[in-house]
Amino acid sequence: MPSPVLILGLGNDILSDDAVGLHIAHEARARLAGEPDIEVRATTEMGLALLDEIAGRKAVVLVDSVQTGRAPPGHLHEFGLGDLTQVLTTSPHFLGVRETLTLGNLLGLPMPRQVRILAIEVNDPFTLGTDLTPAVQQAVTAAVDRVIAQARELTSALEQTGAAVS
């Protein structure tokens, strides 16, 4: 059985700030060693491939980069699934997080009930390179704190639900 709670970092590890979700996942993994209920993974895939990652989990925290142009680089955005409808579901041709969940449910796969998305506003996700830009780099530690807090919150919520059921 996979761990009930998954922290999933997304990004491209050689596209400068695009990798920030992966950096955060790596740090979170180091700090969460010894907490078996939370697994941390990092992936450079997207779209339909996310189905394989999140199926079978009870709760997921996705960590990604975002470029809204309306917040300074390093700003931490937090989305719930409700917020995502505006961003993703109007695309007929890309499988967003919400569609992935709906698709999984439709296919009868066990899909997470809780999904949180943390996205770091980035400066440069287009230049090949393995370094984050300074403002984004400085935001990593705070983002890791927040991701871990979110994952622990989800874990205890699950434990309470589990206790109530049993």
> Which residues sit at the interface with other proteins, rule CB under 8 A?
10-15, 18, 43-49, 51-52, 64-67, 69, 86-96, 99, 102-103, 106-108, 119, 122, 125-129
The tokens for 54 are: 């999140």
For residue 139, what are the β-bridge partners? none
Beta bridge partners of 8: 41, 62
Q: Minimal distance in Å, beta carbon 27 to other proteins?
A: 19
Q: How far is the CB of 63 from other proteins (least distance, A)?
A: 11
Pick between residue 67 and residue 114 the one whose CB is nearest to other proteins: 67
9, 61 contact by CB (below 8 A): no
Name the phi and psi angles at 80, rounded to 5. Answer: -110, 175
Nearer to other proteins, 90 or 166 (CB): 90
In this structure, what token pair is assigned to residue 90?
């109007």
Q: Return the number of the residue (116 or 155) whose C-beta is nearest other proteins.
A: 116
